[in-house]
Structure 1
Amino acid sequence: MRKLLIFSTVLLTLISMLYSCQTAEKVEQDAYYVNGRDIYIAQCQNCHGEKGEGLAELSPPITDTVWMKKNRSLLACIIKHGYATPVTIHGKVYEGKMPDFNMADIDLTQIIVYVTNTFGHKQGKYTTEQVAKDLQNCK
């Protein structure tokens, strides 16, 4: 009985260790997500809302998964340089101007990781290299 108890304890410990191990990439992604959430709260939440719902007629929601996927490569440009082009989200046109937020590439990366993996989105990893590439393509 005692051997069974020891064996069970060791087995449960090994199983929990396997499930708790994360890759360095996953740990980095999680850190970006948390830091991005903090940036979102400080810089974006006033206009785009706590749940990404937007602000009445002024700021569009960021909950449209199709729009977010289609425009993912524009997000760094939009955040860094602002945006004045009308946007249609969930069939509604928003014509307000988004101000620019002259953020470092790492901050842009973190906020993009957060907004593309929250509010119903599951777009996964985004890197500072991708942000740099996307910023080179800004119009």
Structure 2
Amino acid sequence: MDINNLCNFFFVGIVTDVNPAEGTVIVTRPDKNDRTTAALKVIQRGTCKTKDYWMPAVNDQVLCLVLPNVSGKGPGEGYVLGAFYSDADKALESNEAVRSVHHESGSYWRVDENGNMEIHASGSMKLTAPMIYIN
């Protein structure tokens, strides 16, 4: 496949609009004079029985894939494959064995390879279960 053709399918863009209910975003393409895409579906880790939900924020830099249209005319379905760290948006962790989610509000959760977990809520916290054990 020709590299120029490949660049039409994979590209880096900037999120300009988010539709959380549909799981889609609109992306601006700096490589195409800031042309905007149609709604792109955001890839999730699970969508059937076990569901995972994540949406990139406006101004996130994302890697996108637009499939060729089976009719041969214009682009087909498009997807956001994920966001990535850069000079503008640095990683918050320096240990590859840590998983964390940090929200703009200041709330976060963090777990490491030793089983240590930290949860910080900048607002209220609700726990719901038939029985809650605190040791």
TM-score range, shorter chain: under 0.3
Decide which structure has greater helix share.
1
Q: Report the TM-score when normalising by structure 1.
A: 0.23
Larger Rg computed on CA atoms: 1
By relative contact order (CA 8 Å, sep 6+), the higher-ranking structure is: 1
Q: Report the TM-score when normalising by structure 2.
A: 0.23
Decide which structure has greater strand share.
2
